[in-house]
Amino acid sequence: MANPTNLKYTKEHEWVQIDSDNTATVGITAFAANALGEVVYVDLPKVGTKVEFMKIFGEVESTKSVSELYSPLAGEVIEVNDSLAGAPETVNSEPFGAGWLIKVKFAELPELLTSTEYDELVGE
């Protein structure tokens, strides 16, 4: 699965889609979803939670392991993908779509990787 060019990426395999001047959607990449294996549970923060740049905001559990999720933005969680509670495998099947994790209101966009830089990182 190609990494969409309209997204920004982290070295920890999260993606960011800028939705407006100060809101963004966050998820994990297809590379991360494939490495995890079948996702069976996603632990996400509550709406209103403050997240810090590259600090842990949740976990993804799979049949293979538990992985921490790192926030690519500092800000406040304004929406959580509640549908993942009943269908965590959506993170595997649609990592860049319906498998998104949180939406964040942020003040400043940090330096993140382009799709080309991320592709080079993961060897795609």
Do the strands 14-18 and 23-28 form a parallel or antiparallel pair, or are they unpaired? antiparallel
pLDDT for residue 121 is more than 70: yes
- Number of structural domains (the chain) is 1
pLDDT for residue 86 is more than 60: yes
For residue 16, the enclosing domain spans: 10-108
pLDDT for residue 39 is more than 80: yes
Among the listed residues 80, 26, 92, the one whose alpha carbon sits nearest the alpha carbon of residue 55 = 26
Could you tell me the CATH number of the domain that includes residue 26? 2.40.50.100
Q: What is the pLDDT of residue 1?
A: 56
| Residue 122 belongs to a domain | no
Strands (E), the chain: 8-9, 14-18, 23-28, 39-43, 50-51, 56-62, 66-70, 75-80, 102-106
| Residue 14 belongs to a domain | yes
